[in-house]
């Protein structure tokens, strides 16, 4: 039986930093397949053992179509697998071509730091 | 498809290493700033001046009495030096300032310089003659006379017990002086004092074993 992957927030790992050829995308805009902004990268979820960033924790913009407003003092967040995005270093943007502003409402929201076992499958299914 | 990698941060240098480095830097700086000035090191005594050669150049077996006999008469040297100085400087002031160099060299001698009393008296002497050296025409000679006598007394107490009477007499003499060099009477008193000071300075210029 394989060991479960332990995912940590980058800010909780003060002894780690981004590798030289890997930009720190926190604060960068996330754009959909149509180039329109969907939100902003707020945090990186990493696997310290593999020394890889696995997911981008994205805060969605307010007012996206069909996205219900978040509870007071909360944000509407999604996780994006790094393997599913393209990074534009010069434009400091992250592109996720499979999503658009009008389809992001169908993407599973990330409501808790704990990842349910089937959350990965849900994301992959939503991304086609 | 993107890939983002992370890496462990490179370990920062140990704070103890920085502390040790700072201590080393401070040590080096302290060494350069606090080391003894070469000018303060004991050096060979000057051969010119109103007094005789200093003891360190004397052969160990030479009797002090013979050496002292070779020293020119100090009363004459006082007159000669006064004549060579500008009219503004009194003869006594000139001689005292010239003797101050010899006195300073004397107390820098290896067997005298570590004595606390001598160091204190030397500082007093330096302070007392500072105004004279600056050419202040109103400066009294008396502090310099008394300080010189006190300095010689400290030297005597350090290593020349048989000169106690002479140094006491010199100190009394210094205390009785007016500190001025204007009238013929004052000049005569000053000259007498300086002659006595010069003679005593000659005596203590030789190692104690030659005197005792």
Query: What residue spans define the domains of chain B?
Result: 74-211
- Residue A51 located in a structural domain: yes
- Residues in B whose CB is inside 8 Å of some CB of A read 1-9
- Residue A66 located in a structural domain: yes
ipTM: 0.84
Of the two residues B56 and A52, the one the predictor is more confident about is A52
pLDDT of residue A112: 66
Q: Taking the C-alpha atoms of A31, A32, A35 and A37 in order, what is their torsion angle to the nearest 10 degrees?
A: -40
Domain of residue A45, residue span: 8-13+21-111
pLDDT of residue B152: 83
CATH code, domain carrying A101: 3.90.50.10
pLDDT tens sequence for chain B (212 residues) = 789 999 999 877 788 999 999 999 999 999 999 887 766 665 555 444 444 444 444 445 545 444 444 444 444 544 444 444 444 467 777 888 888 888 888 888 878 878 888 888 888 888 888 877 777 777 788 888 888 888 888 888 888 888 888 888 888 888 888 888 888 888 888 888 888 888 888 888 877 665 55
Q: How far apart are CA B144 and CA B179, in angstroms?
A: 9
Is residue B137 exposed (0-12), middle (13-18) or buried (19+ Cβ within 10 Å)?
A: exposed
pLDDT of residue A2: 64
- Residue A117 located in a structural domain: no
- Residue A103 located in a structural domain: yes
Q: Measure B12 CA to nearest chain A CA, in Å.
A: 11
- Residue A70 located in a structural domain: yes
Residue B141 CB coordination number (10 Å): 24
Q: Measure A62 CA to nearest chain B CA, in Å.
A: 26
pLDDT of residue B53: 44
A18, A84, A87 ranked by CB distance to B6: nearest: A18
Query: What average pLDDT does the segment A67-81 reach?
Result: 87
pLDDT of residue B186: 84
Q: Which H or E run includes B173? A: helix B164-176
* A111 inside 8 A of chain B by CB: no
Contact A18 B9 (CB under 8 A): no
Q: Which H or E run includes B77? A: helix B74-84
Q: Report the predicted TM-score, pTM, of the whole model to 2 decimal places.
A: 0.42
Measured between beta carbons, the chain A residues lying within 8 angstroms of B11 are none
Contact A82 B2 (CB under 8 A): yes
Of the two residues A30 and B105, the one the predictor is more confident about is A30
* Count of pairs with CB atoms under 8 A, one residue in A, one in B: 55
pLDDT of residue B51: 46
Residues forming a β-bridge with A41: A58
B2, B6, B9 ranked by CB distance to A51: nearest: B6
Contact B7 A16 (CB under 8 A): yes
- Best probe of the A interface among B1, B3, B4, B9, by most A CBs < 10 A, is B4
Split into its structural domains, chain A has a count of: 1
Mean pLDDT of chain A: 90
pLDDT of residue B61: 55
């Amino acid at each position: 039986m394989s060991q479960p992957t332990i995912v940590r927030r980058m800010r909780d790992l003060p002894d780690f930093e981004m590798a030289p050829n890997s930009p720190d995308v926190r604060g960068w805009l996330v754009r959909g397949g149509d180039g329109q902004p969907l939100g902003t990268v707020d945090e990186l979820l990493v696997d310290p053992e593999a020394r890889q960033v696995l997911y981008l924790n994205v805060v969605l913009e307010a007012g996206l179509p069909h996205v219900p407003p978040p509870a007071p003092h909360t944000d509407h967040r999604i996780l994006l697998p790094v393997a599913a995005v393209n990074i534009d270093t010069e434009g400091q943007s992250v592109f996720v071509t499979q999503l658009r502003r009008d389809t992001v409402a169908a993407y599973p929201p990330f409501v808790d730091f704990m990842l349910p076992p089937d959350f990965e499958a849900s994301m992959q299914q939503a991304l086609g | 498809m993107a890939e983002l990698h992370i890496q462990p941060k490179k370990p920062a240098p140990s704070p103890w290493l920085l502390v040790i480095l700072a201590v080393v830097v401070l040590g080096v700086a302290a060494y350069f700033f606090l080391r003894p000035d070469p000018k303060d090191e004991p050096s060979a005594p000057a051969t010119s001046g109103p007094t005789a050669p200093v003891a360190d150049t004397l052969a160990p077996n030479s009797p002090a009495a013979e050496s002292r006999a070779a020293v020119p008469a100090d009363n004459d040297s006082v007159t000669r030096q006064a004549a060579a100085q500008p009219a503004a400087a009194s003869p006594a002031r000139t001689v005292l300032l010239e003797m101050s160099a010899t006195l300073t060299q004397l107390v820098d001698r290896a067997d005298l310089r570590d004595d606390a009393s001598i160091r204190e008296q030397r500082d007093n002497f330096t302070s007392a003659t500072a105004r004279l050296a600056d050419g202040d025409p109103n400066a009294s000679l008396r502090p310099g006379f008394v300080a010189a006598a006190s300095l010689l007394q400290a030297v005597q107490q350090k290593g020349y017990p048989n000169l106690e009477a002479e140094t006491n007499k010199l100190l009394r003499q210094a205390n009785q002086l007016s500190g001025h060099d204007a009238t013929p009477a004052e000049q005569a008193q000053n000259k007498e004092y300086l002659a006595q000071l010069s003679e005593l300075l000659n005596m203590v210029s030789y190692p104690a074993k030659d005197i005792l």
